[in-house]
Structure 1
Amino acid sequence: METTPLTQQTFEFNDKVLQDELHRLGLKVNHHEENIRFLKSEINTVQESIADLRIKLGKGLVIANNGTSVQEAETLVIQSILNQEKTAASLVCHLRKYEQTQIMKDVLGVVATLGKVNDDNLSSLLSEYLGIDNMLGLVCKTYNCIKDLEIYDNKGIIDKKEGIHRLAGTIGRPLDGRFTVFCLENIRPFSGKVMIDDRQRHLILHKPRLPSGEAPPGFLGFAVNMIHMDEAYLGYLTPNGHGLRETLFYSLFSHLQVYQTTADLRSAIPLINDGAISLDGGIFRPNGSFCLGDRKNVEVKFTVTASLVDSSTHGSTTEMEYQAKLKNWEKERLVEDLKREEELLKQVKDLFANLKQQLMDSRLISPSVAKRVQVSPTNRSPVTPGSNPFSATRGSNHFAASPGSSPFAATPRSNPFAGTPGNSPFAAKPPHMR
């Protein structure tokens, strides 16, 4: 069926109008999708801030230090180490009071004395997780210190007249068995970033996330960041500029996660890579094993004090609680904005699909006109990069409807000014009708 020039112009005009409208809608789709990505990123940031505030406020942690002062708590820990007779840790704690040899100067301390926590239960759990050998481990600054601690003869036998064994013999406290020594110079440090403006140099760790983007229920934080260090040890850095948290405590705890309950821990197992503990006694080790049965009293544990003040926290507890409320309100507003953007995106996509359907129907009605419409190869859809939403593929139109449903399609020979033969008021009448 041939088309008149006027009909062709009408089809081409309608086609151009639909193309322009589709392009405009495609830009709106991109705009809403960008807004959604931004809002999701903001929600994740706010959720991390809320989790950090909750950890600082000690949510879910029952502080139990029996009212002891910091000095009293430290004394109790040292006494518990001294009670471990014939151990290197006990010897070091004893010698620090009386003798300052070169060996003692290079020994930074015992693991149990280098960190503090603000909860007795958490202290017991972390100590149980590490085990007595690690808790009594000596921490040396350099590898030369380790070589000086123990000397061997030509046959590889320990020379009890040299090193730490000589010191043990002089006070009548000979060592029995092996002991663990950590060399800060040789420990592989944390490869990520630390909070430079934070006096405690907390590690910046990626929190576990559910598919929804939220933290798993009951997640309280990472054990390595729950250790508080005294000012005396904060100033120590390795020759490469790494502190105790990045070296010693990261080597001990890595990404060990802390949860409120064992049920929370087990629900989050797919998100746990380096083990986890729960405040009710659950322990899940990095090798996939669980610690079951009744808990025993821990002989040596970290110092417990309720008077710890996080140097990165400004203001009182009341101010932090107020900040947490503000963050929760901010999160609620962002979630509402996200829902609104998702609804707007759905509406624009539906309108885009309907308009594309009209364009396809219009071209199906008049293939000859469709062939005349040349779309530039660079005129790509902003919704699907690299694809032209205005070109229909035969047999693959997902938006196809019944032909003739386009309000923009003109009907051939439907010129309202064209009169029906014999009915035109301007037609000349035959002589017999004049």
Structure 2
Amino acid sequence: MFPQPSNSNQHLVYTKPLSVQGSSALVPVENGEFTKADMIIRESQKLQDDLRSLGMKIKQHEDKLSLLTTEKSQLDDAILHLQVAIGKSKSSSTAKIGNADDLHITTEEEVNKQILQHEKSAAGILCQVKTHHGAQASLLGLTQDVVGVVAMLGKVEDDNLSRLFSEYLGVETVLAIVCRTYEGVKALELYDKEGYINKSCGLHGLGASIGRPLDGRFLVICLESLRPYAGKYVVDDSQRKLDILNPRLPNGECPAGFIGFAVNMINIDNRYLFCLTPSGYGLRETLFYNLFSRLQVYKTRAEMIQALPCISDGALSLDGGMIRSCGVFSLGNREAVDVRFPRPERPLGLDQHIEMERQMMNTQWKKDKVFDDLKREKTMLDMAKFSFNKKKSDFLKYLATSSSYATQVQTAPYLHQ
């Protein structure tokens, strides 16, 4: 029905589109030569191999950049932790605010005397009983669940910081009584059938018995009722400091002058670091985290103001600046708070300070090296991406050219002699 072509002089031509993906579609011609289609396939395969190789290089550079970025972030955090420790050792000499009388070292014994001056306070009554009737005080049912007074449960290595923290919290909070459970809270104050305070029982009765009648309201903090910090802790830190992410400005940099978080600047006695509540928490993640939350500390007021975009839970500066919460500023003269946190018995020594300076220099050197590696890796990534895009453009152009040839072959009629 159709004319039959001559078998002797016929050229064999594929009528389906040529594939540039494979390498097996060889088109034989006379004398064993390959057709142009095979050349297209081989060149296409080479371009694809080049693209694949460049893509793998890009992935390798991106992975290396990711690792270096993580390492740089870890070094940034390490530097900030060292700055906190170094800053605390220097702050008493670099931030002398107010009269010289306000800068003397505050001992635990002195804080106890400060509390005793508040004669008709709940804290004053407890300290009075503990000071003069220590053995009997431990046997009193109403004090067995009491951990202590806030001002006596933490220590601050610098008197200027101690004053700032006390001013931020206020005298009422610094003198608050801390109990482990709500049963301890109930034991401090009892009521009669009409709902009035029974002045002969609890802390009221104790105060009356020693000639210090309790006057006015007083704060009691129940540890088991507080919502504890739920994050991680700083690795290998004997004080179990909270591993809180350092603040970052919109450009990703840590604000200048940032020293640390107030909650991590409180030194806590080892007996209060673990298992103080029924759930096993210590004072830092319960009491002090609820008092300070993520309160930030800066060297100067100017640096604190510059860091406003990344301050969410308030901030303090060593020269007296205070932001109580986001958008709430405390202005005016500093208040003279007469109850402060004591200093640790063994303050930071010179040898420790020198060692921290050495660690700081070493960590900074590592950070500079990582930063140089980051720049070099970024340059190599940009070059790999440029080569990839250029090769991809060549490949697409080649595909367009080979597609035109394949279309001509597909539509060509049978060839005759």
Shorter-chain TM-score tier: 0.7 to 0.9
Instruction: Pick the aligned partner of 1:216 from 255, 259, 274.
Output: 255
Please say if residues 77 and 301 of structure 1, whose CA atoms lie closer than 8 Å, have aligned partners that are also in contact: yes
Please say if residues 12 and 369 of structure 1, whose CA atoms lie closer than 8 Å, have aligned partners that are also in contact: no
Instruction: Give the C-alpha shift of residue 104 in structure 1.
Output: 2.5
Please say if residues 138 and 180 of structure 1, whose CA atoms lie closer than 8 Å, have aligned partners that are also in contact: yes
What's the secondary structure of 2:225's corresponding residue? Answer: coil
Please say if residues 363 and 370 of structure 1, whose CA atoms lie closer than 8 Å, have aligned partners that are also in contact: no
> Match for residue 82 of structure 1?
116
What aligned pairs does 1:224-373 form with structure 2 within 5 A after superposition? 224-234=263-273, 237-305=276-344, 307-309=346-348, 316-369=352-405
Please say if residues 55 and 388 of structure 2, whose CA atoms lie closer than 8 Å, have aligned partners that are also in contact: yes
Instruction: Give the C-alpha shift of residue 46 in structure 1.
Output: 0.7
Please say if residues 113 and 302 of structure 1, whose CA atoms lie closer than 8 Å, have aligned partners that are also in contact: yes
Please say if residues 133 and 179 of structure 1, whose CA atoms lie closer than 8 Å, have aligned partners that are also in contact: yes
Q: Which residue identity is paired with 1:29? A: I
What aligned pairs does 1:109-258 form with structure 2 within 5 A after superposition? 109-195=148-234, 197-234=236-273, 237-258=276-297
User: Which has the larger helix fraction?
Assistant: 2
Please say if residues 262 and 296 of structure 2, whose CA atoms lie closer than 8 Å, have aligned partners that are also in contact: yes
Structure 2 residue 64 is the aligned partner of structure 1 residue 35: yes
Deviation digits for residues 2-30 of structure 1 (CA, Å, limit 9, x no counterpart) = 99963333222222211110111011011
- 1:257 and 1:264 mapped to 2: Cα distance? 12
Q: Which residue identity is paired with 1:26? A: G
What's the secondary structure of 1:285's corresponding residue? Answer: strand
Measured at CA, do residues 196 and 102 of structure 1 come closer, stay the same or move farther in structure 2, by a change above 3 Å?
A: farther
- 1:106 and 1:327 mapped to 2: Cα distance? 45
Instruction: Give the C-alpha shift of residue 371 in structure 1.
Output: 6.7
Instruction: Pick the aligned partner of 2:130 from 85, 96, 111.
Output: 96
Q: Which residue identity is paired with 2:364? A: N
Instruction: Give the C-alpha shift of residue 261 in structure 1.
Output: 1.5
Deviation digits for residues 95-120 of structure 1 (CA, Å, limit 9, x no counterpart) = 11233122223221110111111111
Q: Which residue identity is paired with 1:200? A: Q
Deviation digits for residues 381-420 of structure 1 (CA, Å, limit 9, x no counterpart) = xxxxxxxxxxxxxxxxxxxxxxxxxxxxxxxxxxxxxxxx
Instruction: Pick the aligned partner of 2:82 from 38, 41, 53.
Output: 53
What's the secondary structure of 1:331's corresponding residue? Answer: helix
Gapped regions of structure 1 (runs ≥ 5): 373-434
Please say if residues 311 and 326 of structure 2, whose CA atoms lie closer than 8 Å, have aligned partners that are also in contact: no
Instruction: Give the C-alpha shift of residue 324 in structure 1.
Output: 1.0
> Match for residue 22 of structure 1?
51
Q: Which residue identity is paired with 1:279? A: L
What aligned pairs does 1:396-415 form with structure 2 within 5 A after superposition? none
Measured at CA, do residues 370 and 284 of structure 1 come closer, stay the same or move farther in structure 2, by a change above 3 Å?
A: farther
Q: Which residue identity is paired with 1:350? A: F
Q: Which residue identity is paired with 1:150? A: E
Please say if residues 218 and 260 of structure 1, whose CA atoms lie closer than 8 Å, have aligned partners that are also in contact: yes
- 2:110 and 2:131 mapped to 1: Cα distance? 16
Query: Which moves more between the two structures, 248-257 or 50-59?
Result: 50-59
- 1:170 and 1:371 mapped to 2: Cα distance? 108
Deviation digits for residues 285-338 of structure 1 (CA, Å, limit 9, x no counterpart) = 22520001111211211113583359xxxx732222111111111001100000
Q: Which residue identity is paired with 1:37? A: S
Give identity over the alignment, percent: 44
Please say if residues 156 and 341 of structure 2, whose CA atoms lie closer than 8 Å, have aligned partners that are also in contact: yes
Measured at CA, do residues 18 and 238 of structure 1 come closer, stay the same or move farther in structure 2, by a change above 3 Å?
A: same
Q: Which residue identity is paired with 2:114? A: S
Please say if residues 44 and 213 of structure 1, whose CA atoms lie closer than 8 Å, have aligned partners that are also in contact: no
Under a length normalisation based on structure 2, what TM-score does the superposition of the two structures give?
Answer: 0.81
Deviation digits for residues 181-225 of structure 1 (CA, Å, limit 9, x no counterpart) = 011222221111234743322111111123554321111111001
Please say if residues 118 and 306 of structure 1, whose CA atoms lie closer than 8 Å, have aligned partners that are also in contact: no
> Match for residue 5 of structure 2?
none
What's the secondary structure of 2:107's corresponding residue? Answer: helix
- 1:232 and 1:184 mapped to 2: Cα distance? 15
Please say if residues 154 and 266 of structure 2, whose CA atoms lie closer than 8 Å, have aligned partners that are also in contact: yes
Provide the aligned C-alpha RMSD in A: 2.6
> Match for residue 8 of structure 2?
none
> Match for residue 408 of structure 1?
none
- 1:167 and 1:196 mapped to 2: Cα distance? 44
Please say if residues 249 and 309 of structure 2, whose CA atoms lie closer than 8 Å, have aligned partners that are also in contact: no
Please say if residues 363 and 369 of structure 1, whose CA atoms lie closer than 8 Å, have aligned partners that are also in contact: no
Instruction: Give the C-alpha shift of residue 370 in structure 1.
Output: 6.2
